[in-house]
Amino acid sequence: MSNIVAIVGRPNVGKSTFFNRMVGERIAIMDNVSGVTRDRHYGHSEWLGYYFTVIDTGGYVEGSDDRFESEIRKQVTMAIEEANVVLFVVDAKEGVTDLDKDFANVIRRFKKPVILVANKVDMPSQANYISEFYGLGLGEIYPVSSQTGTGSGELLDEVIKHFPERGDENPYEGLPRISIVGRPNVGKSSFLNVLIGTERSIVTEEAGTTRDSLDTRYNMFGKDFILTDTAGIRRKARVSEDIEFYSVLRSIKSIEKSDVCIVMLDATLGLEAQDMNIISLAHRNKKGIVVLVNKWDLVEKDTNSAKKMADYIYSRMEPISYFPIIFTSVTTKQRIFQAIEKALEVYDNKMRKITTSELNDKLLPEIAAYPPPAMKGKYIRIKYITQIPTHNPVFAFFCNLPQYIQVPYERYLENKMRKHFQLEGVPIQLIFRQK
């Protein structure tokens, strides 16, 4: 059993700011506009040797004009049900509101330990104005400032009293990280929800529904791994709002932190320029890549439709053409588990270590059959090959004249490596060194 703290309250009381302070990173997007946070957002924190998970939630409200209102309420409810301790955050500057009173009645029904946190107490003199919150009937009030951290120590001292154990320092450490990335509205959140069998992410037909990058621990095929749902990545010229700008930045950061990227395309639109940019971004960051062509059920097909589409994608992406392509439909659950199985296979390929003897036994005969072309009257002789112990597959070729190896021959060697060794979906780097 792990220690979990849920941060809840009405919109715009500083929940995400306080979440970022507790986890020590600017993970959640913050803005003065209410309703920025929609999904549950998880982070990890520590206090006095106790390790715990923190959940940031959207603002709980009823009767508003926000079309996401009911979905946000579901996310808040799920966070409270998961938690050992609930932090009910209120705005000390605004005082008690009707929304605070209504939510206090809601939160009592869960029978969970609730700590009332009066945020935005930036100066000691402002602590005198929090007494009215005793009227909510939730016991002791803890004044804090999420901006400066004032009062957070006393609050956390109270929080850890409710933990059943000290917890794990980092429950995600060492686990494969798989990010689901793509343009807006291609079905990323729907894909995650179908996989885990619950509404982890809010799904609507509106592009840009997901804003933060959301991590979920998952087990399939006997393996634990982290699935990250990300916001849709549009071209910079089309990003007009600050919130979307930060959403895109977090999506890019998720790619940088991941081991494998599942890049989702919309089958009804085909491969667009932004899809190519996203695949290239994953390639430049040396991530494993699996391409999912989603909404395949909406495409009129014949016997060769999948092959034609795959050939088209590979031809457009040359020379980045080492990734597997899977045709899926989230709505009909067609091949979605095959997609995860393939992503885990790509992760294993990325982590594979090939012995020096294997490399030389397979590749030296290929090099002898087709040696590097002579340059300036000099013959290039590759003596042996070895894999360098790095996090990504890097292979060193030792030869007499490494500076004369040309790009076409480098591609030839890469193709032979992929022929002899299981490296599907993995970018590999070849370096040439003087023997």
Q: Give residue 364's pLDDT.
A: 95
Quick check: 236 pLDDT over 80? no
pLDDT at 244 exceeding the cut of 80: no
First to last CA, the chain: 55
Element (H, E) at 78: helix 69-82
Asked whether the beta carbons of 327 and 300 are under 8 A apart, the reply is no
Q: How confident is the model at residue 208 (pLDDT cuts 50, 70, 90)?
A: very low
Pairing of strands 85-91, 4-8: parallel
- Closest to 339 in 3D by CA, of 321, 326, 322: 326
For the sheet with 394-399, list strands across it: 382-388, 394-399, 429-434
**pLDDT greater at residue 267 or residue 168:** 267
Is residue 399 within 8 A of residue 432, CB to CB? The reply is: yes
pLDDT in the model for residue 178: 93
- Spatial distance between the Cα atoms of 107 and 138, rounded to a whole number of angstroms: 10
pLDDT digits (tens, 9 = 90+) for 383-424: 999 999 988 899 999 999 899 999 999 999 999 999 999 999
User: What's the token pair of residue 89?
Assistant: 């955050």
Average pLDDT over residues 24-40: 57
Q: Is the pLDDT of residue 239 over 50?
A: no
Mean pLDDT over residues 322-326, rounded? 95
Q: Which of 211-220, 228-237, 414-423 has the highest mean pLDDT?
A: 414-423
Looking at residue 30, what is its pLDDT? 46
Report whether pLDDT(250) > 80. Answer: no
Fold adopted by 356-434: GMP Synthetase; Chain A, domain 3 (3.30.300)
| 356-434 and 4-162 share a CATH fold | no
* Lowest mean pLDDT, pick from 48-62, 227-241, 323-337, 343-357: 227-241
Q: Which residues 6+ apart lie within 8 Å of 75 measured at CB?
A: 38, 39, 40, 57, 58, 199, 202
CATH topology of domain 177-351: Rossmann fold (3.40.50)
Sign of the torsion angle spanned by Cα atoms 331, 335, 339, 341: positive
Cα 263 to Cα 183: distance, rounded to the nearest angstrom: 9
Query: What CATH number labels 4-162?
Result: 3.40.50.300
pLDDT for residue 211 is more than 70: no
In this predicted model, which residue has the larger pLDDT, 43 or 234?
Answer: 43
What is the per-residue DSSP string for 252-268?
HHHHHH-SEEEEEEETT
Sign of CA pseudo-dihedral 209, 214, 219, 220: positive
Residue boundaries of the structural domains of the chain? 4-162, 177-351, 356-434
Whole-number Å distance between alpha carbons of 238 and 250? 17
pLDDT band, very low/low/confident/very high, at 189 (cuts 50, 70, 90): confident
- Phi and psi angles of residue 7, each rounded to the nearest 5 degrees, phi first: -105, 115
Strand ranges in 232-389 using DSSP code E only, listed in sequence order: 260-266, 288-294, 325-327, 382-388
Whether 289 contacts 283, CB under 8 Å = yes
Give pLDDT tens digits for 150-175. 889 999 999 999 998 888 777 777 88
> Counting Cβ atoms within 10 Å, is residue 213 exposed (0-12), middle (13-18) or buried (19+)?
buried
